[in-house]
Chain A
Amino acid sequence: DAGITQSPRHKVTETGTPVTLRCHQTENHRYMYWYRQDPGHGLRLIHYSYGVKDTDKGEVSDGYSVSRSKTEDFLLTLESATSSQTSVYFCAISVQRGYTDTQYFGPGTRLTVL
């Protein structure tokens, strides 16, 4: 399972409150990703990281920020949660073998914003 954990696994919050989701990996992988999954959209990339303190935006980054102060932890923050951010959030790491990049996923966090 690539040693990826996410916390919390479930969270209910109110509109306007800040929320931080944590992704932790145990195998020192360089690349980490945050996705959200919504019906009919598959997985959409929010932000990604290619090293400590090196992050960049994905296709749906508005309203989200990330931080990576240690290799093993990648944090996703919703500064002021909105109902449109109700979703299931997945963290992933990438393993490169030759010219192939393969991603392995955590178990997900179900976030509900009321």
Chain B
Amino acid sequence: TQLLEQSPQFLSIQEGENLTVYCNSSSVFSSLQWYRQEPGEGPVLLVTVVTGGEVKKLKRLTFQFGDARKDSSLHITAAQTGDTGLYLCAGAVAADSWGKLQFGAGTQVVVTP
């Protein structure tokens, strides 16, 4: 059973379009991370959000942590082909959980020229 539900599972858009990926849960997280994974490689950390309502920007990527710390979103503006990849969200359930994270199943994003 996935604690974190990501939607959509798959997203195909053209270069220049915007997209949003959602990560939802009924659990409260002490922090939430977003990763991007490319074929044949391990996930690479994009951002960590900690405070409810927090918004972080990484160039064309905007990450938001919900006020209740149960959900998050990733918005990409003017997508580029280099944004293609599997996007994973992961939440830390408690501060004393031995650093364990709960992962969503991922959203596969394909950006075509």
Please classify the interface of chain B as helix (H, G, I), strand (E, B), loop, or mixed, using the class held by over half of its residues.
loop
- The A19-59 residues at the B interface (CB cut-off 8 A) are 31, 33, 35, 40-45, 48, 50, 56, 58
B31 contacts A101, C-beta separation under 8 Å: yes
In the assembly, what is the distance between CA of A106 and CA of B33, in Å? 17
Count class of interface residues, chain B: 20 to 34
Number of A-B contacts (CB under 8 A): 69
- Interface presence of A103 (CB below 8 A): yes
- Known: A99-B31, A101-B97, A108-B41; 15 extra A-B contacts, CB below 8 A, are A33-B100, A41-B2, A41-B105, A43-B88, A45-B100, A48-B99, A50-B98, A94-B98, A96-B99, A99-B30, A100-B30, A100-B48, A101-B31, A105-B42, A107-B41
Query: Nearest Cβ distance between residue B22 and chain A, in whole angstroms?
Result: 15
A101 contacts B45, C-beta separation under 8 Å: no
- Interface presence of B11 (CB below 8 A): no
In the assembly, what is the distance between CA of A107 and CA of B97, in Å? 24
In the assembly, what is the distance between CA of A90 and CA of B106, in Å? 15
